[in-house]
Amino acid sequence: MFKKILIANRGEIALRVIRTCKEMGIKTVAVYSTADKDSLHVRFADEAVCIGAAPSRDSYLNIPRIIAAAEITNADAIHPGYGFLSENAEFSKICEEYKIKFIGASPEMINKMGDKATAKATMEEAGVPTVPGSKGLLKSLEDGKKIAAEMGYPVIVKATAGGGGKGMRIIKTEADFKKGWDDARQESGAAFGNDALYLEKYIEEPRHIEIQIIGDSDGRACHLSERDCSIQRRHQKLVEETPSPFITDELRDAMGKAAIKGAEAIGYEGAGTIEFLVDKHRNFYFMEMNTRIQVEHPITEEVTDFDLIKEQIKVAAGEKISGKNYYPKLFAMECRINAEDPSNGFRPSPGKIINLHLPGGKGVRIDSHVYAGYVIPPNYDSMIAKLIISGQTREEVIVRMKRALEEFVIDGIKTTIPFHIALLEDENFKAGNFTTKFLEDFDFSKI
Ligand code: ADP
């Protein structure tokens, strides 16, 4: 087993990894930017190394500085968390070269799954159903138009390098094609330095349902059931739950089997997520694979008794999985608490937290790095806490979530808490009746 793990990340996920390492008796190294010097991950790690200034490219995205920090502290592995360098093939490769174990996917795997058009082609070849669309990248605007006409509108053009909902546009008619194409290329070029696009049939009112998988170095994979992430704003998740109120036992088995087939076809090692869109007839289509731990992983932990970070570390150290699949024994839901103002278009609201009270009680888990007096830097992601609730039934989870949100006090900044309370009062949400379009029609004036 590893003796010392460096966590190449910040915020709640850095703290989350440190917690598991402590329980496993593994020493930890935090890295931090000057903006994060007062952050809890710095305080809770055994050692901490400042790696640069606030902008991510000078710190959390700066590979030479992170490798130097691992070398001087003698860390034998690096956990990248999510975001930043977690799906960066070059970083994974450099870790390999320096004989530091990267607790994540191999460079080859990241390359294969990180390019979304290649990932789709690979999964299709493995026999996993995929969203109908272009075979690979679009060669030109004309090529895109031709494929869209054959397929029928609406379509969606997507950045092959995409992530976080960026670089995609829904196109409803041929007359709108050029604008959608130009906008998606512009956005993906700016965000990823790669403006190559592919095209998919736009699935009307789908659910976003993903399967958590774990694979080991023998090439064996198992699944840990699904997470329903359909509550999204601008293609970004805000609430996740498991089991999905839409999924039947047969569908879970079919999707689980498809996810395992995909993972085993590529020899996937570690924790990963296979994302699917599910249409109203319960047909499911592979959309993309994430080769890292995800923000919403705790809901799976709450219903299966797994510590997914521990599983990642064990598999990276060469341990084998049992090969058994895992099914939800409870119900769980996560609300992302962001420093954003939901009554003002979710505008970011960084600043100082004057007063903080965290909810507690049965079935309440909070993963967060903030405390009273903490100043949220404007440089990074706006998520400041994850409120994760578990219970015996979905109804119990909803009631418990609402009372926990009402107990939550965060003074000094605006947060998404009022939005979550309004959502939990919505009759359609309570009935489990929603798709990825749900928030487009949501009445935000009632917040
Ligand atoms: P990213 O990698 O940026 O997160 P995804 O490919 O995972 O992008 O898509 C994000 C969201 O966009 C999905 O959860 C879904 O809501 C929507 N979406 C993507 N592709 C389609 C499609 N073909 N039809 C309908 N909605 C889609």
Instruction: State the pTM of this model.
Output: 0.96
Q: How remote is the CA of residue 227 from the centroid of ligand 1, in Å?
A: 15
String of DSSP letters for 86-151: TT-HHHHHHHHHTT-EESS--HHHHHHHHSHHHHHHHHHHTT--B--B-SSS--SHHHHHHHHHHH
Q: Looking at the CA of residue 203, tell me the nearest atom of ligand 1.
A: 24
Residues 403, 419: Cα–Cα separation, whole Å:
14
Q: How remote is the CA of residue 252 from the centroid of ligand 1, in Å?
A: 20
pLDDT digits (tens, 9 = 90+) for 253-294: 999 999 999 999 999 999 999 999 999 999 999 999 999 999
Average pLDDT over residues 237-248: 98
pLDDT digits (tens, 9 = 90+) for 97-142: 999 999 999 999 999 999 999 999 999 999 999 999 999 999 999 9
Q: Is the CB of 82 under 6 A from ligand 1?
A: no
**Where on the phi/psi map is residue 136: left (φ > 0), alpha (ψ -120 to 50), or beta?**
left
The three-state secondary structure class of 274 is strand
Q: Is the CB of 113 under 6 A from ligand 1?
A: no
Q: How remote is the CA of residue 235 from the centroid of ligand 1, in Å?
A: 6
- The domains located in the chain, with CATH, are 4-103 (3.40.50.20), 141-201 (3.30.1490.20), 207-446 (3.30.470.20)
Q: What was the pLDDT predicted at 165?
A: 87
Cβ pair 90, 262 in contact under 8 A: no
Whose tokens are 């691992």? That residue is: 70
Q: Is the CB of 165 under 6 A from ligand 1?
A: yes
Which position among 16, 227, 252, 292 bears the catalytic label?
292
Q: Is the CB of 288 under 6 A from ligand 1?
A: yes
Q: How remote is the CA of residue 165 from the centroid of ligand 1, in Å?
A: 7
Annotated catalytic residue 43: no
Of 51, 60, 63, the C-alpha closest to 93 is 63
Q: Is the CB of 200 under 6 A from ligand 1?
A: yes
Average pLDDT over residues 6-30: 98
Count of C-beta atoms within a 10 Å radius of residue 414: 19
Q: What was the pLDDT predicted at 164?
A: 85
DSSP state of 254: H
The H or E element spanning position 230 is strand 221-233
Q: Is the CB of 203 under 6 A from ligand 1?
A: yes
Q: Is the CB of 167 under 6 A from ligand 1?
A: no
pLDDT digits (tens, 9 = 90+) for 340-382: 999 999 999 999 999 999 999 999 999 999 999 999 999 999 9
Residues 350, 379: Cα–Cα separation, whole Å:
9
**Where on the phi/psi map is residue 307: left (φ > 0), alpha (ψ -120 to 50), or beta?**
beta
Of 74, 75, 89, the C-alpha closest to 17 is 75
Residues 218, 223: Cα–Cα separation, whole Å:
16
String of DSSP letters for 362-417: TTEEEEE---TT-EE-TTS--EEEEEEEEESSHHHHHHHHHHHHHH-EEESS--SH
Q: Looking at the CA of residue 159, tell me the nearest atom of ligand 1.
A: 3
Closest-CA residue, ligand 1 atom 11, reads 235
Q: What was the pLDDT predicted at 446?
A: 87
pLDDT digits (tens, 9 = 90+) for 297-325: 999 999 998 999 999 999 999 999 988 99
Q: Looking at the CA of residue 131, tell me the nearest atom of ligand 1.
A: 23
pLDDT digits (tens, 9 = 90+) for 187-239: 999 999 999 999 999 999 999 999 999 999 999 999 999 999 999 999 999 99
ipTM above 0.90, yes or no: yes
Count of C-beta atoms within a 10 Å radius of residue 325: 19
**Where on the phi/psi map is residue 267: left (φ > 0), alpha (ψ -120 to 50), or beta?**
left
Average pLDDT over residues 56-77: 97
Residues 252, 283: Cα–Cα separation, whole Å:
12
Q: What was the pLDDT predicted at 110?
A: 95
Q: How remote is the CA of residue 158 from the centroid of ligand 1, in Å?
A: 8
Tokens of 150: 């054959």
Distance of CA 237 to the CA centre of its chain: 8
